[in-house]
């Protein structure tokens, strides 16, 4: 215990003295959170939409009108069949297709439910993915209007639903930032967890101080905890700053509890720090560890569902996301933020992350040796 205390004291002192850490920890998150969503917001205002309307009804026309008048979409193609619509995507004229089935109006009126199909262009993942998400938001909103009309006209109790074939989406205000900001937060926390701790250990290797540690009676476990705890605290601190920015600047208040986010983040960080630790046991120089952790986090982020909704990824990529801790955190973030999910709803994700934590840390501890062969 005393040993751990002295290790933590030294570690925090060094972090405190490192101007780069303070810069990266506090200034970078602010910039990312403040600039990135604004920049991407511009991009997302010009999504090219193709419509395949098999229904040609009043409802379907209303829906398309509503989508176009949202200001985010430009109606670029109106095809009679889905294959024709796909051609427009392939030629790059459109970013996504909305297919309205025959009897769309009739199904809503008669059965209170209908489904729509949204196809997105896999090449421009960000634009199409977010466009898809927006579209779903608008459709949900439209659904609410249907309900209002319905109730006024017929005094019918049941709420008609439009099933969106590609995904459930809980961002009724169509706010792109609500979609993006929690994701950026996850990325930041991931970066700190995976690369900072790793770099720190590798720096001790480079400086030669690790030899001095290895020749002392410090236990492997104490050393590892002494490295993990400070970065675990730092990452939670950055998360807190990020959540504050999200709230104060973007007015993003989670529907669920902050505590749910923190419980999950705590476990998530165990897994990510374990990954960093594992990297550090292999890397000999800071350059190596930086490069590898950058590469790994980039892959994780790309396949996380942050830019491209997981549902619209090809099957092989969807499978990979199941082995990607980042995708779980983004999913949980959105569930808590937008759906108000609690601990019980995310138990599956928690279990998965515990699995990751055991796997990464176990491997790292096996691989960290105080003595070379």
Partner 1 sequence: MEKENVIVTHELTKRFGDFTAVDNVSFAVQKGEIFGFIGANGAGKTTAMRMLCGLSLPSSGTATVAGFDVYKQNEQIKKHIGYMSQKFSLYEDLTIRENIRFYAGIYGLRDERIREKTDLLLQQLHMKGAERTLVRALPLGWKQKLAFSIAIVHDPAIVFLDEPTGGVDPITRREFWSLIYEAAGRGITIFVTTHYMDEAEYCNRVSIMVDGRIDALDSPANLMQQYASASMDGVFLQLARKAKRSGD
Q: Which is nearer to partner 1, 7 or 51 (CB)?
A: 7
**Is 12 a binder of partner 1 (CB under 8 A)?**
no
Q: Which of 75, 47, 49, 118 lies closest to 312 in space, CA to CA? A: 118
Q: Per-residue string for binding with partner 1, 334-373, x by CB under 8 A?
A: ------------------------------------xxxx
When binding is defined by CB under 8 A, the residue of 151, 218, 237, 350 that contacts partner 1 is 218
When binding is defined by CB under 8 A, the residue of 6, 22, 34, 319 that contacts partner 1 is 6
d(CA 347, CA 42): 36
Length reported for the chain: 373
Is-contact 295 279, C-beta < 8 A?
Answer: no
Is-contact 177 32, C-beta < 8 A?
Answer: no
- Report the phi/psi class of residue 168: left, alpha or beta, with left for phi > 0 and alpha for psi in -120 to 50: beta
When binding is defined by CB under 8 A, the residue of 10, 23, 173, 347 that contacts partner 1 is 10
Q: Which is nearer to partner 1, 144 or 216 (CB)?
A: 216
Dihedral pair phi/psi, residue 131, rounded to 5°: -60, -45
| In the complex, minimum distance from the CB of residue 284 to partner 1, in angstroms, rounded to a whole number | 14
Q: Which is nearer to partner 1, 87 or 205 (CB)?
A: 205
**Is 244 a binder of partner 1 (CB under 8 A)?**
no
d(CA 65, CA 51): 11
Q: Which is nearer to partner 1, 218 or 365 (CB)?
A: 218
Q: Which is nearer to partner 1, 48 or 286 (CB)?
A: 286
Q: Which is nearer to partner 1, 84 or 214 (CB)?
A: 214
Write out the binding residues for partner 1, residues 128-157 only, by CB under 8 A: none
d(CA 96, CA 118): 7
| In the complex, minimum distance from the CB of residue 231 to partner 1, in angstroms, rounded to a whole number | 17
d(CA 372, CA 368): 10
Distance from the first to the final alpha carbon of the chain = 29
Q: Name residues whose C-beta falls within 8 Å of residue 147's C-beta, 6 or more positions apart in sequence.
A: 159, 160
Write out the binding residues for partner 1, residues 189-208 only, by CB under 8 A: 207-208
| Geometric angle at alpha carbon 246, from 244 and 252, rounded to 5° | 115
Is-contact 164 136, C-beta < 8 A?
Answer: yes
Write out the binding residues for partner 1, residues 28-57 only, by CB under 8 A: none
Helix (H, G, I), strand (E, B) or coil at 295: helix
**Is 18 a binder of partner 1 (CB under 8 A)?**
yes
**Is 7 a binder of partner 1 (CB under 8 A)?**
yes
**Is 284 a binder of partner 1 (CB under 8 A)?**
no
**Is 209 a binder of partner 1 (CB under 8 A)?**
yes
Q: Which of 180, 176, 146 lies closest to 47 in space, CA to CA? A: 176
**Is 14 a binder of partner 1 (CB under 8 A)?**
yes
**Is 81 a binder of partner 1 (CB under 8 A)?**
no
| Candidate ranges 160-168, 215-223, 273-281, 317-325; the one touching partner 1 (CB under 8 A) | 215-223
| In the complex, minimum distance from the CB of residue 293 to partner 1, in angstroms, rounded to a whole number | 22
- Size of interface with partner 1, in residues (CB under 8 A): 25
Q: Which of 70, 86, 197, 90 lies closest to 138 in space, CA to CA? A: 70
| Candidate ranges 9-17, 118-126, 145-153, 241-249; the one touching partner 1 (CB under 8 A) | 9-17
When binding is defined by CB under 8 A, the residue of 58, 217, 314, 344 that contacts partner 1 is 217
d(CA 269, CA 109): 49
β-pairing, 113-120 with 96-100? antiparallel
What are the structure tokens assigned to 11, written together? 């570690």
When binding is defined by CB under 8 A, the residue of 24, 213, 225, 296 that contacts partner 1 is 213
Q: Which is nearer to partner 1, 213 or 302 (CB)?
A: 213
Binding site for partner 1 (CB under 8 A): 2-3, 6-7, 9-10, 13-14, 17-18, 207-209, 211-218, 370-373
């Amino acid at each position: 215990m005393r040993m751990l205390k002295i290790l933590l004291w030294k570690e925090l002192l060094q972090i405190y003295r490192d101007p780069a850490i303070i810069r990266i920890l506090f200034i970078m998150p602010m910039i990312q959170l403040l600039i990135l969503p604004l920049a991407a917001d511009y991009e997302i205002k010009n999504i090219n939409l193709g419509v395949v309307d098999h229904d040609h009804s009043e409802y379907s026309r209303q829906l398309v009108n509503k989508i176009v008048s949202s200001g985010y979409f430009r109606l670029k193609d109106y095809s009679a069949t889905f294959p024709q619509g796909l051609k427009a995507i392939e030629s790059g004229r459109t970013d996504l297709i909305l297919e309205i089935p025959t009897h769309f109006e009739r199904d809503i009126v008669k059965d209170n439910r209908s489904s729509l199909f949204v196809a997105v262009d896999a090449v421009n993942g960000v634009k199409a993915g977010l466009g898809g998400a927006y579209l779903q938001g608008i459709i949900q909103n439209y659904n609410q209007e249907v309900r209002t009309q319905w109730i006024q006209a017929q005094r019918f109790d049941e709420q008609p639903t439009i099933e969106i074939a590609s995904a459930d989406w809980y961002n009724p205000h169509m706010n792109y930032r609500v979609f993006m900001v929690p994701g950026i937060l996850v990325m930041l926390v991931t970066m700190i967890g995976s690369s900072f701790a790793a770099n720190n250990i590798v720096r001790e290797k480079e400086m030669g101080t690790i030899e001095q540690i290895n020749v002392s009676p410090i236990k492997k476990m104490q050393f590892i905890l002494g490295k993990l705890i400070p970065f675990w605290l730092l990452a939670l601190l950055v998360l807190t700053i990020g959540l504050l920015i999200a709230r104060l600047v973007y007015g993003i208040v989670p529907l669920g509890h902050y505590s749910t986010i923190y419980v999950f983040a705590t476990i998530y960080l165990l897994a990510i720090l374990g990954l960093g630790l594992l990297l550090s046991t292999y890397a000999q120089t800071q350059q190596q560890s930086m490069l590898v952790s950058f590469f790994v986090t980039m892959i994780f982020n790309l396949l996380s569902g942050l830019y491209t909704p997981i549902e619209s990824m090809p099957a092989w990529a969807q499978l990979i996301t199941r082995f990607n801790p980042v995708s779980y955190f983004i999913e949980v973030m959105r569930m808590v933020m937008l759906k108000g999910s609690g601990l019980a709803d995310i138990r599956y994700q928690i279990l998965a992350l515990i699995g990751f934590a055991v796997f990464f840390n176990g491997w790292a501890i096996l691989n960290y040796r105080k003595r070379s062969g």
